[in-house]
A and B are shown apart, each in its own frame.
Chain A
Amino acid sequence: QQKVQQSPESLSVPEGGMASFNCTSSDRNFQYFWWYRQHSGEGPKALMSIFSDGDKKEGRFTAHLNKASLHVSLHIRDSQPSDSALYFCAARNNNNRIFFGDGTQLVVKP
């Protein structure tokens, strides 16, 4: 069963625009959430984490977590062409199992 579901599958935004990704988990044992980014031809790289309810901001990136609804989101403001990549949501439970969503492909058009 898919424990972490991401939407949308793909996203296209203009340069300078806002990109938003969503992730819903199906397991209340998930305590730790990460967003990973993968540029073409490379391995995924951790972007930011969120473990507590509410917002977490790091530069142009803002993550939001709502544990009650098992929903995590990531927002990129002022999107740049270099942000074009595959974005993964990952959830980790207390048994150290990590589950990844299928990813959202972002294209930022100049």
Chain B
Amino acid sequence: EAAVTQSPRNKVAVTGGKVTLSCNQTNNHNNMYWYRQDTGHGLRLIHYSYGAGSTEKGDIPDGYKASRPSQENFSLILELATPSQTSVYFCASGGHNSNERLFFGHGTKLSVL
């Protein structure tokens, strides 16, 4: 089964600090995604990528940057973290074909104090 690994699993940050969430997939998937999950909002798309060097804005990109330096790695960057960004963040990867499923990591729980 496809493997998506996120790090760290838990992170506590201070308001105004920089946070980087990392994601690695070993299945040569073209597409990678960053979602946040909050109670009552389900999964909301922040940024996504179609391949190395590409990043696209999702539905809630404000306050976040993304970086896809290679096929395997996709990072989410919070330059100036705010308490409203306290959430659980999930990375996912999937193939290019529209009928393919997504594979999710275990998530990163971020608390911004």
Seen from chain A, the residues whose Cβ lies within 8 Å of a Cβ on chain B are: 31-32, 34, 36, 41-46, 49, 51, 88, 90, 92-94, 96, 98-103
Contacts and interface: CB of A to CB of B under 8 A. Distances in A.
B18 interface: no
Contacts of A103: 42-43
Contact of B104 (A44, A94, A101): A44
B85 to A, nearest CB: 19
B84 interface: no
Given A42-B106, A43-B90, A43-B105, A100 B99 contact: no
Interface of B: 4, 31, 33, 35, 40-43, 45, 50, 90, 92, 96, 98-99, 101-107
26 contacts: A31-B98, A32-B98, A32-B99, A36-B102, A42-B106, A43-B4, A43-B90, A43-B104, A43-B106, A44-B43, A44-B102, A45-B104, A46-B101, A49-B101, A88-B42, A88-B43, A90-B102, A94-B98, A96-B98, A98-B33, A98-B45, A98-B102, A101-B42, A102-B40, A102-B41, A103-B42
B99 A96 contact: no
Contacts of B42: 88, 100-103
Contacts of A46: 101-103
Highest count of chain B CB atoms <10 Å: which of A94, A98, A99: A98
Given A96-B31, A98-B33, A103-B42, A51 B99 contact: yes
A31 B97 CA distance: 12
A93 to B, nearest CB: 8
